[in-house]
Amino acid sequence: MEEPWFIILSIASSIIVMLTICGNTLVIACVIHSRNIMQSITSYFICSLACADLLIGIGVMPFTAFQIVKGNWIFGSLACNIRYMMDISSGTASINSLCLIAIDRYVAVMMPLRYRTLMTSRRAFFLIVIVWVEAISLSFIPLHFGWYRATDQEAQECYDNPECCVFIGNVEKINQTGVSSTRNENTQERNSGGRTISHNERRALKTLVVVLGVFIVCWLPFFIMYPVQGICRHCITEPQFHITIWVGYVNSLFNPILYTRNPEFLAAYKLLLCKNAASQKVKQWHTRRQMRKIVNTPQNN
């Protein structure tokens, strides 16, 4: 506890927790408050992602930070399993919500004429339910039945000790999965419907690329470190483990900041944070945007 990195990490983690909770709460409030955002199907998936990040900020980060500062786990074995269940389920839901956002934007750009029939509110809600049911099932079932447990003596001592809350998995039961990515290059900025990609669509695609890129950068060190720790448990030091996992947690803080690239979210942020000062400007921005749509409608047709 006396090492400087513990002090730095405890202070940084406290700041990250507060900003994560406030940021993702603001995103959810913007989706509920703003009619323009609420009308977009993409906002449903963004809200799902924000809920997953908020769950990490409320149910995972504070207890992990307290464990680091305290030096041991004082909440018991049941609370330890609940924390890891929330960690795994929210992380899985976050990944799958990002996939839904990517699919939604792909359909909007590549099949604009069929987008409203393919991506309805009912289908979006159904997809979100599937994402969360899968996330909860993948976390609750293995933890409840103990499928993850290792059989060596060191692991058994940790399982029997209520002050030890370290996820020690059985390396023989780890399924290695690869994430494949495809890249579609097209020299012409036209989709399958023959319509030129608008500035807003291009901006949304850039935001999506940034969100996915930040997610990969934040979580890649952990996904490299964890299999290594499963094979060689003592190859990763405790400071390296904590720093790596907190770099991943920081991704939940970055997402609300990245949404400021979207002008509608930026306007909603201003409306909620500076309602009295910015409300008139926001209304003027929405009026100009509607007028621009009316002017561009004959060109798109």
pLDDT in tens, 249-292: 888 888 888 876 777 777 777 777 776 454 556 566 666 666 66
- Higher-confidence residue: 165 or 194? 165
Q: Which two tokens stand for residue 162?
A: 């209520």
The mean per-residue pLDDT over the stretch 225-231 comes to: 77
Tens of pLDDT, residue by residue over 89-148, are: 998 898 899 888 888 888 887 888 888 888 888 999 999 999 999 999 988 887 777 676
Choose the weakest-confidence range: 17-21, 231-235, 252-256: 231-235
What is the C-alpha to C-alpha distance for residues 109 and 200, in angstroms, rounded to an integer?
11
Mean pLDDT, rounded, for 164-169: 68
- Residue 187 pLDDT: 35
Q: Which residue has the higher pLDDT, 154 or 281?
A: 154
Total count of residues recorded for the chain: 301
pLDDT at 194: 43
Average predicted confidence (pLDDT) for the chain? 76
Quick check: 36 pLDDT over 70?
A: yes
**Using 50, 70 and 90 to split pLDDT, how confident is the model at 55?**
very high
Rounded to whole angstroms, how far apart are CA atoms 245 and 63?
A: 13
Q: Supply the pLDDT for residue 189.
A: 37
pLDDT at residue 265, rounded to an integer: 77
CB 108 within 8 A of CB 119: yes
Q: Does 55 or 173 have the greater pLDDT score? A: 55
Q: Report the amino acid identity of residue 179.
A: V
pLDDT of residue 280: 57
Q: How many angstroms separate the CA atoms of 270 and 215, rounded? A: 25
Share of the chain above pLDDT 70, in %: 71
pLDDT given for residue 152 in this prediction: 67
Q: Which residue has the higher pLDDT, 34 or 250?
A: 250
Task: Kindly state which CATH superfamily the domain 4-173+196-263 is placed in.
Answer: Rhodopsin 7-helix transmembrane proteins (1.20.1070.10)
Q: Which residue has the higher pLDDT, 186 or 38?
A: 38
Tokens of 61: 């980060």
pLDDT at 181 over 50: no
- Please give the average per-residue pLDDT across 25-35, as a whole number: 85
Three-state secondary structure of the chain: CCCHHHHHHHHHHHHHHHHHHHHHHHHHHHHHHCHHHHCCCHHHHHHHHHHHHHHHHHHCHHHHHHHHHHCCCCCHHHHHHHHHHHHHHHHHHHHHHHHHHHHHHHHHHHCCCCHHHHCCHHHHHHHHHHHHHHHHHHHHHHHHHCCCECCCHHHHHHHHCCCCCCCCECHHHCCCCCCCCCCCCCCCCECCCCCECCHHHHHHHHHHHHHHHHHHHHHHHHHHHHHHHHHCCCCCCHHHHHHHHHHHHCHHHHHHHHHHHCHHHHHHHHHHHCHHHHHHHHHHHHHHHHHHHHHHHHHHC
| pLDDT digit string, tens, across residues 185-220 | 343 334 444 445 556 566 666 777 887 888 888 888
Say what the pLDDT of residue 215 is.
85
Return the domain boundaries, the chain: 4-173+196-263
Question: Which pLDDT value is given to residue 270?
Answer: 77
Task: For tokens 């009295």, name the residue.
Answer: 276
CA atoms of 91 and 53, how far apart (whole Å): 8
Averaged pLDDT for residues 23-45: 84
Predicted confidence band at 19 (pLDDT cuts at 50, 70, 90)? Answer: very high
Say what angle helices 4-33 and 61-70 make with each other, to 10 degrees: 170
